[in-house]
Amino acid sequence: MIYFLKAIIRAGLKRRGITLVGTYMLLLLVSSILISLVEPVGTALTSFDQALWWSIVTSTTVGYGDLYPVSTAGRIVATILPIFMGIGIGAAFITHMASYLIERRDKKMHGEKPYKGSCHILLVGYTEETEHLVEQIQNDETNATRDLVLLADIPRHPLPELENLIFVRGRPDKIQTLTRANTGQADRIIIHTGSDEQSLFALINALGLKKETCEVTVRCLSSQALDTFSSVPGNFETIMQMTAEMMVQAMQDKVHIPLQILLRNEDDNEEIYYVVVPESTPGLEWWDLHNYLKEKYGHLSFALRKPDGEVMVNPPANEPVFKGYGIWLIALNRPMNLAWPG
């Protein structure tokens, strides 16, 4: 309903819509004034508010019959203005609005409209796994309110029933189509075109358009292409062919996939997650933080990542931990809103 009302407002703001609405309003005003002037004194339609109500219900063919002209002159006004002209203008406006809605829907289905939002997750490319990948991303509570923008060279929107999945049509390795998907405002970019060559060009162009804080993940299909991807300058993560679940896990938690598989507990449904220390606590050491997370939340931490990229598995007990350090831990659910020791 909200979408329908918004569409009506946008349609009315078009030049033709404004003309039709303005003409209809003028018709109602003229009709109300004329009928109140020609009707005999003392009858219902000599009151302007009653005359306006009668003009509206008559022009829209509702016609309750509670009010009607009693004079010949009044009937002539009713025939020429509310009935004849009102029906014509109303039908023209409804036709215009319907055409606008159909055109808008058609552009959405064919990915012709550029995406103008921000802080979205951009999926570059479409393969047989894309639908499952979208499902996995949406199932992650950290992405519940994010828009997903699918940039792919396919004729129609593959999943139009998903409201927050926006389709932009075009070759994923072209700067023009990446720009139409508002790559520069994306928070995350996942490149999986199904072709290492196309993914490579998409990666190079995306790195040139993205903002500094945007995280990029590119899927590599062939081990022979890993060296080529590694030679591309820029901050991004290359992952080999894997399932959609593993890709999302890698994107969210920066976990080395073989390590994740070895450490995960299938019986308890535990997973490895990556969190960043948001606050600096003087004197905070690794073992104190490890015990705190275990006792308060039941999370088992096992590795530390410094801002310079150095990773320490099972760090020394007295290793200092500062704001911006990353921590890998094992938990039943994604750690959310952790209270850090103060």
Q: CATH number of the domain at 104, please.
A: 1.10.287.70
Q: What is the CATH number of the domain that holds 179?
A: 3.40.50.720
Other Cβ atoms within 10 Å of 46 Cβ, number: 16
- The answer on 221 and 179 residing in a single domain is yes
pLDDT of residue 260: 42
Tell me the one-letter amino acid at 13.
L
- The answer on 234 and 267 residing in a single domain is no
Q: What are the structure tokens assigned to 102, written together? A: 């159909």
- pLDDT < 70 regions, the chain: 1-17, 61, 63, 82-87, 90, 93-94, 96, 100-101, 104, 240-270, 342
pLDDT of residue 207: 94
- The answer on 142 and 76 residing in a single domain is no
Put simply, whether the predicted model's pTM sits higher than 0.85 gets the answer: no
- The answer on 325 and 213 residing in a single domain is no
pLDDT of residue 241: 53
In a domain, 21, yes or no: yes
- State pLDDT tens for residues 270-319: 677 778 888 777 788 999 998 999 899 888 888 888 888 787 878 888 99
In a domain, 14, yes or no: yes
What range does the domain containing 25 cover? 2-109
Distance of alpha carbon 198 from alpha carbon 204, whole angstroms: 10
The residue among 52, 80, 109 that closes a domain is 109
pLDDT of residue 263: 40
pLDDT of residue 74: 86
The residue among 79, 109, 139 that closes a domain is 109
- The answer on 242 and 140 residing in a single domain is yes
pLDDT of residue 2: 43
In a domain, 321, yes or no: yes
- The answer on 66 and 15 residing in a single domain is yes
Tokens 């389709």 sit on residue: 167
In a domain, 128, yes or no: yes
pLDDT of residue 170: 93
pLDDT of residue 267: 45
- The answer on 264 and 248 residing in a single domain is no
Q: What is the CATH number of the domain that holds 276?
A: 3.30.70.1450
| Domains: count for the chain | 3
